[in-house]
Amino acid sequence: MASPAARTDTASRDNRSLLFDESQMIDRPGPSRRPTEKPTGYQCWSDLLFAHWRVSPELLRPLVPAGLELDTFDGDAWLGVVPFHMSGVRPWWAPALPGISEFHETNLRTYVHFRGRDPGVLFISLDAACRPVVEVARWKWKLNYYYAQMKLLRNGDEVHYSSLRTDGRSPRRAEVDITARIGEPLNPEPGTSVEPGTLEHFLAERYVLYVDDRRGGLMTGRVHHTPYPLRSVEVVSCRQTLSSAAEVPVPGQPDHALFSEGVTVDIFPLRRVRL
């Protein structure tokens, strides 16, 4: 594929970091604090690519459940395609099991907040290469999961992601084919997050998720992990139809991309949101 490379530009990134809209008044580091309750499960996320497109808020607003507002940066909403590898997936009371505790996943996501607080992720769709996980997640957590055939191949600093949705519940073809070249670390120090207020922090450091319960209600959940160790990344080629399958078409190359080696994650229970 002959599409031009997309690279995070340091100068433009620094300029964007100086611009703020009303959403920048939200407490963004707050959700990264560990909840006091006991985790219900554990996971490891590795080799994550955060590929993002600027999107008009009007285009995404019909997908946002009642009670939530789109979270924007410099007036733009953002649509993310995030492929990665999952491992060590287990509830707190059981060990990881072969066949269901390790698989690839790709999610299509945007960002929301609840009445000016608790900025988080709204998953538009989630594809996973594990049928039991897809079925349980759709049933128990009401997440919009689909089964897909996936590959994740890494060779040094080059990584390739591919996914083809084969779930009969999907009304449209949805696939991903992305090759990226991993660059330099972005965190100021190991174990610390990128600077709050930057676009990189806005897109990656998310610890809250929201779920439409399909009955007019809203659920929220929390995760906890150390800050993402982020690196710059050059997207060498990108072809994806996840967004068009969700009726949110975007151009071929992302406007912004990041890579992370990964984190170990504690999962906390879903709670109902009082609207």
What is the Cα–Cα distance from 57 to 54, expressed in whole angstroms?
A: 9
Q: Residue 151: which of 206, 105, 217 has the closest Cα?
A: 105
DSSP character at residue 61: G
The whole-model pTM stands at 0.90
Would 3 be classed as within a structural domain? no
Q: What is the pLDDT of residues 133-184, one digit of tens each?
A: 999 999 988 999 999 999 999 999 999 999 999 999 988 889 999 999 999 9
Residue 22 confidence (pLDDT): 52
- What is the domain range of residue 58? 39-272
pLDDT value of residue 16:
37
Helix (H, G, I), strand (E, B) or coil at 16: helix
Q: Label the pairing between strands 77-91 and 230-240.
A: unpaired
Supply the mean pLDDT for the chain: 91
**Pick from 204, 230, 217: which is nearest to 273 by CA?**
217
Residue 23: per-residue pLDDT: 63
- Report the CATH number at residue 131: 2.40.400.10
Asked if residue 26 is part of any domain, the answer here is no
- 94 within some domain: yes
Whole-number percent of the chain with pLDDT over 70: 91
**165 inside domain:** yes
**What was the pLDDT predicted at 1?**
40
Evaluate whether residue 25 is within a structural domain: no
Q: What type of residue is 148?
A: A
Does residue 7 sit within a domain? no
Is the pLDDT assigned to residue 123 strictly greater than 80? yes
Number of domains composing the chain: 1
- Give me the mean pLDDT over the 74-94 stretch: 97
Q: Does 127 reside within a domain?
A: yes
34 in any annotated domain: no
Residue 5 pLDDT greater than 60, yes or no: no
